[in-house]
Amino acid sequence: MTASPGAGLGAVAPGGGALVARPKGAGQGRRTSRNQKLVRFVVLLVVLGYLILPLFSMLEFSTRGDFDKATKSFPRSLQSYQAIFTYPNLIDGIVASLQIAVLTVFGMLLLLVPTMVWTVVRVPRMRRVIEFLCLLPLAIPAIVIVVGIAPIYRWMGQNLGAAGGSPLTLALIDIILVLPYSYRAIDSSLRSIDTATLADAARSLGAGWPRTILQVIVPNIRGGILSASVLAVALVLGEFTISSLLSFNTVQVVIFLLGKRDPFVSVAVSLAALVFAFILLFVISRFAPGADRRGQRATEEDSAA
Amino acid sequence: MADSPALLTAPSSSATAGPASSGAGTRRFKGAGNYLALTPFLGYIGLFLILPTLIVTIGALMTNEGQPTPDNIAAMFTTDVFIHSFVKSIQLAVISAILGAIFGALLAWAIVRGDPNGLLRQLVIAASGVLAQFGGVMLAFAFLATFGFGSMIDVYFKNNLGIHLDMSWLYSMTGLVVVYTYFQIPLMVIVFLPSLDGLRQEWYDASASLGGGSWSFWRNVGGPILAPSFLGALLLLFTNAFSAYATAQALISQGCVLITQQIACQMQSEVILGQENVGKALALGMIVIVSAVMLIYAFIQRRASRWAK
């Protein structure tokens, strides 16, 4: 998703080159009427206000101290945040989710990168099929996957010993859940470089496939791999439906259960998690444009040649 | 996000076609081997995506003993609670998709009007990613902290103004619409922003040079061009809300209101009742609805990408 804006402008480039590539702010701004500015201001105020209010409430709610009867108000305190560390279940949930996230990212990259590179280089006609399969989880709600996968997990729990019943097995489904997002991120990176030529060049210089992928292709699609991984981490840390119904205590499940016992702490953890995810994605959106611009330049050179 | 592959197709496909076809000679000999290399990927998808879907589909048409039966499907159409759950879910998805699409499109427009490399744009895009994909349980808590009993607004009115507000709406359908719209707006921003970015400067200029004002531009140029993207995004928002479970469960943990909750209830009670396959029928019903919507979406998407070339 972060890849898109640059891509849109890249497509414009052939006609006017750099002139057309960044007109939005400059050309538009001058012509913007006062009326439009007012509408824009109102829209930003109302919609952003609606989006920010609940987050602000979380901050207010989670920083309450004990009620002060004299002033009829709550003093500010960080006790709810300190209390996070007094719930071992919560810490266990966070640790489990982080482990699942790491496994999911590695599994996803291992599954997706070689397959996608191979498809581009050797079997381009399968590209559509791979894309379809990767986007398929969007058409199958998570709750439906749980219903279908519960028997498989029951079987794993009974036949694969301790490993089969570990929460870490959730990574197996989470890989499926993150496929559509990871696919798009990696795909847009792969399209911005000439993957086939790079691979042919590496192969003709004597590199084997592992080396071609790891040392030639991967460094060129860093941006895509990075956003794919961050999206995967965010999705895994936010995943609730499947872990809850398969009775694994991931961070979301623990937050959910804690909500009934100590809402202040659960709101504190929630806000912390949202802020953490936001920082992750924001850092990525700072990185990704660089990768995009590189792709855009490549496209411009292509069309010039 | 949905548009980006389509937007990128045009320039790079010509680049990949050359080298790939030059390898055609060797492909004849290694053809089968080339496809074999996809086995791990296809096997994984088969095991963890296709197999579960088959278990649901086949289970929906079977008794617990494995005999074919139409009873589970029939139960879905004749049991009042199931019908209500489907209707409620669809209502919620439609309303929240429409609200989310309208406000999300407005927000996206307001952002496109700003500096393309500005801080506001980057902040909103990152925040949208978090709120649209990551939320679930936590967003329900955010609203409980805002409007719930003992929440910021509740406490403020009680202590400072002496007014006891009725906050029970939060735990009803109205509350679900308000909370769902909250994560639909950011999703709309993510999906719709690329289309707005794709509106070309030349089109504004052409419209303006022919004497068109802002209204006439949107009425005659921008509107028609964006209509397919908007409609596609609307459908995506519908499936997003229709499939959601976490938020509803965290807001209304008692009872099986929505279809996703209904399926969860069926799953959790299956040990006692022994009718696990009714849950599978409901799940199959969801697949049918979501797949139908996604098919229309794919069709519209193809039309929407026409202008991006």
Q: State how many domains chain B has.
A: 1
pTM given for the model: 0.80
Of A97, A125, A90, which Cα lies nearest the Cα of A238?
A: A97
The domain limits of chain A are: 88-261
Question: Taking Cα atoms as reference points, which of B239, B243, B240 lies closest to residue B292?
Answer: B239
Q: What does the pLDDT read at residue B307?
A: 59
The pair of structure tokens assigned to B295 is 């098919």
Q: Does B287 touch chain A (CB under 8 A)?
A: yes
Question: Which residues, listed in sequence order, are joined to residue A73 by a DSSP beta bridge?
Answer: A68
For chain A, give the mean pLDDT.
79
Query: Is the predicted pLDDT of residue A14 greater than 70, yes or no?
Result: no
Are the C-beta atoms of B290 and B243 separated by less than 8 Å? yes
Q: What's the CA gap between A98 and A87, in Å, rounded?
A: 17
Residue A64, strand partner residues: A76
- Give the C-alpha separation, B251 to A57, whole Å: 16
* B103 touches B181 (CB < 8 A): yes
Helix (H) or strand (E) holding B304: helix B276-304
User: Is residue B187 situated within a structural domain?
Assistant: yes
Which chain A residues touch B54 with a CB distance below 8 Å? 148
- More confidently predicted of A5 and B239: B239
What count of CB pairs under 8 Å joins A to B? 352
What is the torsional sign of CA A212, A215, A220, A225? Answer: positive
Query: Which structure tokens are listed for B97?
Result: 């998709």
CA distance B194 to chain A (A): 6
The alpha carbon of residue B96 and the mean position of all alpha carbons in its chain are separated, in whole angstroms, by: 11
**pLDDT band (50, 70, 90) for residue A80:** confident
User: When comparing pLDDT for A130 and B7, which is higher?
Assistant: A130
If DSSP codes are grouped into helix, strand and coil, which group holds residue A258? helix
Write out pLDDT tens, residues A105-116.
999 999 999 999
Q: Tokens for B82?
A: 């199931």
Q: For the domain that residue B94 is a member of, what is the CATH number?
A: 1.10.3720.10
B131 part of contact set with chain A, CB < 8 Å: yes
CA separation for the pair B135, A240 (Å, rounded): 10
C-alpha B171/C-alpha B149 separation (Å) is 11
H or E stretch including B26? helix B24-36
Residue A219 contacts B where some CB pair is shorter than 8 Å: no
Give me the pLDDT at residue A15, please.
Answer: 31
C-alpha distance from B308 to closest chain A C-alpha (Å): 8
pLDDT in tens, A266-286: 899 899 888 988 888 888 767
Which domain range does residue B248 map to?
A: 80-308
Partner A contacted by B245 (CB < 8 A): yes
CA distance A158 to chain B (A): 17
Task: Please report whether residue B49 resides in a domain.
Answer: no
Q: Is B56 on the interface with A (CB under 8 A)?
A: yes
Cβ–Cβ gap A23/B201 under 8 Å: yes
Q: Note whether residue B69 is domain-resident.
A: no
B162 domain residue, yes or no:
yes
| pLDDT classification of A297: cutoffs 50, 70, 90 | very low
Residue B148 in any domain: the answer is yes
At B226, list the tokens. 């964006």
What is the CATH number that goes with domain A88-261? Answer: 1.10.3720.10
Which residue in the set B38, B141, B245 is minimally distant from A266, CB to CB? B141
What is the 3-state composition of chain B as percent helix, strand, coil, each rounded to the nearest 5? 80, 0, 15
User: Which residues of chain B carry a pLDDT beneath 70?
Assistant: 1-31, 270-276, 304-309
Note whether B122 contacts A73, CB cutoff 8 Å. no
Question: CA separation (Å) from A65 to A60, B146, B148?
Answer: 10, 17, 18
Predicted pLDDT of residue B181: 93
